[in-house]
A and B are shown apart, each in its own frame.
Chain A
Amino acid sequence: MKNPLQISLFASCFQVFCLTLRRQFFSRQTIVITMLLGLALAITMVWLVSDSYVRSPMRGTTTYYRALSPETNAYYVIGDRVEAESIVCFVQGRRGGKREIKARVSGVISEIKIENDEKVRRREMLVRIQPDRTGLQLASEVLSPLFMGFLLPIISLGYASAAISGERTNRTLVYLLSTSIPRPLIYCSLYAAVLLLTLAVTLGCLASICLPVGVNGIEVLYKYAPVVFVSTTSYVSLFLLFSAWFRRATFLALAYALMIETLTANMPGVVKSITVSFYANSWLYDKSLSLGLEPNIPAYNPVMAGTSQIVLVLASIVFLALGMWIFSRKEYD
């Protein structure tokens, strides 16, 4: 006879979970996040397909000459690989000599615009090169600034900070609070729902950015996934705490994400060690990951990957516990 109560308590919590999941998914946040994700994907695509052009540097009209590939000892043709230092063509110099023109990026020649011996003007396109996209480039040019620095905190705060304060401003929190579920359990169910939704969105977002890059992208995806998982959890714990604590949690979380996370995380010194992104970045910079990322600020001074993991996990637990404590004591109006 003891069981029915426990089972029904579980059913109540599950209902809170489903309700939150549903209400958060069908919300304005999802629209905003979808738009941001679309924007991020567009940026990635542009980055991915944007070709590098070799243009004529000489003033006036000069003559174009095709160059020989050192490997094959024949003219470069479409589809040939070039390195950054490869000489892809020549143009006539001022005094009749030929001036070498380098590819400047490594990649594959996708188009040769001008025929041999043709006249070219200054800035005219000569050769188009499709650059290689390595995992390192993906990580340092797209993922670090765009995803880790912006999308991840925004997605987390979008769902987590609205979860309680949104219901509160909507005046529907009272329906959750007048049920016979103990408040800490309500908070845990809310947390589970928000965490699941946020993780699904952030990991999905990471995958949709990485996968178009191909094999290199998949490699980066595997290396980023655990970092994204743990830092999303930390963000959700923190922002749900904000949500339980303050009425205008979204603004506060936005201010925190934009001011503290973005500004101080890139500052030298110890101030940055209060941010989630510092530990996430430290984890990514760690040599054992062999991604080869370097902190772009010399004085960044990252901590060890192991330390970062411990700090992030501990922070999540502390934020969750604190949120439960506040939620079970606070009188919501």
Chain B
Amino acid sequence: MTLEPSISVAASPLVEIKNVSKWFGPLMALNGISLEINPGITGLVGPNGAGKTTLLRLLTGQSKPSIGEIRICEFDSWSAKAKSHVGFCPYDDSTWDEMSGRKLVRVSAGLHGFKGEEARHRTETVLETVGMIDRADRPVRTYSKGMRQRIKLGQALIHDPDLLVLDEPLNGIDPVGREELNQLFLRLARSGKAILISSHILNEMDHLADHILFVCRGKLLASGSLEAIRGVLDDYPLKVRVSCQSARRVASELMMLNSVKSVSIETLDDLLLEVQNPNRFYAEFGEFAVSPNIHIHGLKATDTSAEAIFDYLMARSSKPG
């Protein structure tokens, strides 16, 4: 069902991003990103505002890189030819809400140039794939978030694309629905598609992504398997400023923590810590801060490039389970 013979595709990666930067006025959204995407599930992970959506919009030809080049199956991502290889499931829940789910998928089939019997056949196949066949005749505006996500996925799959780009597909979906969608993604990946899933929560990629791209502040910080990324994040050196009462006493006690590499006393109330393993440090520091006779006023990461990771890890460590 693919539109292009896959012989030419096999020779080079499906998606090739070469040194791409994108800025909006003075704001640098992406900064010199180079990567390749191959069949299988790729997770694009980063905190909010890291440039994930910008990257996805570049990939799907919604916007053009300021410099650099993105090639999808050897076509420039802005070109119409590249788009026939890409299915896009945008972040926004808004669709043509007045239509029924079946009509919406049918219209997408039409937009991709399928007619008559072929379009009908594809519509039914896709509705079955995303598990919406029994609810397809209800208007989309009556759908829940999970059902919308499925129907959006349906319209993205209608032309059987080689690359499926999903912008935060698991956002706001309950655990049961999430598990079902994950199974669906895995099935699609097994059928040989490349799936790019963006998320701001690394744990969402558990048992899902073969490959993780970790972006932060418009840069690709790390890429590799989930374990590799976890390792990189865990060993990320971090400078932390702690303000407290009786700094000297606190400093000596902080030196006892395993994760703290060095402590220097900045002023009477401020300490500057160098931390090797932030994740472990936050766990240890949490226990330390509640111990008697210790009065901690504040904790702040001073390394601004790591601030987002800091926030991210804070959010992750505060999550139950």
In the complex, chain B residues whose CB is within 8 Å of the CB of A11 = 110, 113-115
Separation of A170 and B114 alpha carbons in the complex (Å): 25
Separation of A182 and B88 alpha carbons in the complex (Å): 17
Q: Is the interface of B mostly helix, strand, loop or mixed?
A: loop
Binds A, one of B94-102, B183-191, B226-234: B94-102
Is B96 touching A8 in the complex (CB atoms < 8 A)?
A: no
Separation of A279 and B243 alpha carbons in the complex (Å): 75
Separation of A81 and B108 alpha carbons in the complex (Å): 65
Shortest Cβ gap from B64 to chain A (Å)? 6
Is B95 touching A175 in the complex (CB atoms < 8 A)?
A: yes
Known contacts A175-B155, A331-B62, A332-B62; A180 and B113 CB within 8 A of each other? yes
Name the residue on A nearest B165 (C-beta).
A178
Q: Is the interface of A mostly helix, strand, loop or mixed?
A: helix
Q: A123 at interface (Cβ–Cβ under 8 A)?
A: no
Is A172 touching B61 in the complex (CB atoms < 8 A)?
A: no
Name the residue on A nearest B104 (C-beta).
A175
Is A180 touching B80 in the complex (CB atoms < 8 A)?
A: yes
Separation of A323 and B65 alpha carbons in the complex (Å): 22
Scan residues 82-109 of chain B and give those whose CB is less than 8 A from a CB of chain A.
83-84, 86-88, 90, 92, 94-96, 98, 107-108
In the complex, chain A residues whose CB is within 8 Å of the CB of B90 = 171, 174-175
Separation of A161 and B41 alpha carbons in the complex (Å): 41
Separation of A178 and B159 alpha carbons in the complex (Å): 12
In the complex, chain A residues whose CB is within 8 Å of the CB of B107 = 15, 19
Separation of A15 and B103 alpha carbons in the complex (Å): 12
Separation of A254 and B95 alpha carbons in the complex (Å): 27
Q: A245 at interface (Cβ–Cβ under 8 A)?
A: no
Separation of A18 and B111 alpha carbons in the complex (Å): 10
Scan residues 151-179 of chain A and give those whose CB is less than 8 A from a CB of chain B.
170-172, 174-179
Is B92 touching A23 in the complex (CB atoms < 8 A)?
A: no
Is A181 touching B96 in the complex (CB atoms < 8 A)?
A: no
Is A8 touching B63 in the complex (CB atoms < 8 A)?
A: no
The 8 Å CB contact of A175, one of B61, B63, B108, is: B108
Is B84 touching A23 in the complex (CB atoms < 8 A)?
A: no
Scan residues 47-93 of chain B and give those whose CB is less than 8 A from a CB of chain A.
57, 60-64, 80-81, 83-84, 86-88, 90, 92
Is A178 touching B110 in the complex (CB atoms < 8 A)?
A: no
In the complex, chain B residues whose CB is within 8 Å of the CB of A170 = 94
> How many cross-chain pairs have Cβ atoms below 8 Å apart between A and B?
77
Q: A229 at interface (Cβ–Cβ under 8 A)?
A: no
Name the residue on B nearest A6 (C-beta).
B113
The 8 Å CB contact of B62, one of A8, A9, A178, A180, is: A178
Q: B138 at interface (Cβ–Cβ under 8 A)?
A: no
Is A12 touching B63 in the complex (CB atoms < 8 A)?
A: no
Is A175 touching B111 in the complex (CB atoms < 8 A)?
A: yes
Is B111 touching A176 in the complex (CB atoms < 8 A)?
A: yes
Q: B121 at interface (Cβ–Cβ under 8 A)?
A: no
Which of A171, A172, A180, A183 counts the most chain B CB atoms within 10 A? Answer: A180
In the complex, chain B residues whose CB is within 8 Å of the CB of A150 = none
In the complex, chain B residues whose CB is within 8 Å of the CB of A172 = 94-96
In the complex, chain A residues whose CB is within 8 Å of the CB of B111 = 12, 15-16, 19, 175-176, 179, 181
In the complex, chain B residues whose CB is within 8 Å of the CB of A19 = 96, 107, 110-111
Name the residue on A nearest B158 (C-beta).
A179
Is A180 touching B64 in the complex (CB atoms < 8 A)?
A: no
Q: B112 at interface (Cβ–Cβ under 8 A)?
A: yes
Separation of A177 and B86 alpha carbons in the complex (Å): 12
Is B95 touching A8 in the complex (CB atoms < 8 A)?
A: no
Name the residue on A nearest B119 (C-beta).
A11
Scan residues 17-55 of chain A and give those whose CB is less than 8 A from a CB of chain B.
18-19, 23, 26
Scan residues 169-202 of chain A and give those whose CB is less than 8 A from a CB of chain B.
170-172, 174-183
Shortest Cβ gap from B29 to chain A (Å)? 12
Name the residue on B nearest A174 (C-beta).
B90
A175-B108, A180-B81 are known; give 4 further A-B pairs, CB within 8 A.
A178-B83, A178-B86, A179-B112, A333-B63
Q: List 6 A-B contacts (CB under 8 A).
A: A19-B110, A174-B88, A174-B90, A180-B113, A180-B159, A331-B57
- The chain B residues found within 8 Å of chain A, CB to CB, are 57, 60-64, 80-81, 83-84, 86-88, 90, 92, 94-96, 98, 107-108, 110-115, 155, 159
A-B complex: 5 closest residue pairs judged by Cβ atoms: A8-B113, A15-B110, A180-B84, A331-B63, A12-B113
